[in-house]
Amino acid sequence: MQPRMKNPAMIMPEAMTGIQRLLKATKSGGVPQPTLELIGLRVSQLNGCAPCLVGHQREARKAGETDERLATVAAWREAPFFTDAERAALQLAEAITRLSDRSEEAVPDELWEAVVEHYDEQQLSAILLMIGTINLFNRINVPIRERADRPSWE
């Protein structure tokens, strides 16, 4: 499959600068880097974004993630490898990524309470920014057919 166009963030460098600043902010929010990468991986799985899947797996390994956890993040509810805090973050990532798939409240109070039990406001801000930023990347990469084997940002 050939890309339809160059990545818009490469065509408009100011956009990439803004995205990079968002990602830098998420990394300074006090959430462990492996957790942020698991969030990025799960969101990208849901959106079918191959280049982001490759990138988040690579970054997660650099951050010390195990192959077991990477292989089972799609089944985090059933896999015994995730903490309660990670489960809450992954559930929030799924709910936000699938906003339009819900007939009831997108992020119910029960989910929100589970997340705030594990994360303070700064950490929660980092998680929310990570979810939003990865969804942005996914929604750019999928329609332009960004390649997983040679993404334009590398």
Q: Dump the DSSP string for the chain.
A: ---SS--HHHHSHHHHHHHHHHHHHHHTSS--HHHHHHHHHHHHHHHT-HHHHHHHHHHHHHTT--HHHHHHGGGTTT-TT--HHHHHHHHHHHHHHTGGG-SS-SS-HHHHHHHHTT--HHHHHHHHHHHHHHHHHHHHHHHHT--SSS-TT-
Residue 66 within any structural domain of the chain:
yes
Residue 19 within any structural domain of the chain:
no
Domain of residue 74, residue span: 29-139
Residue 100 within any structural domain of the chain:
yes
- At residue 105, the pLDDT reads 84
Residue 145 within any structural domain of the chain:
no
- At residue 106, the pLDDT reads 85
**Residues lower than pLDDT 70 in the chain:** 151-154
Residue 81 within any structural domain of the chain:
yes
- Tens digit of pLDDT for each residue in 89-133? 999 999 999 988 877 888 999 999 999 999 999 999 999 999 999
Residue 23 within any structural domain of the chain:
no
Residue 13 within any structural domain of the chain:
no
- At residue 134, the pLDDT reads 96
- At residue 154, the pLDDT reads 54
CATH number of domain containing 94: 1.20.1290.10
Count the domains in the chain.
1
Residue 113 within any structural domain of the chain:
yes
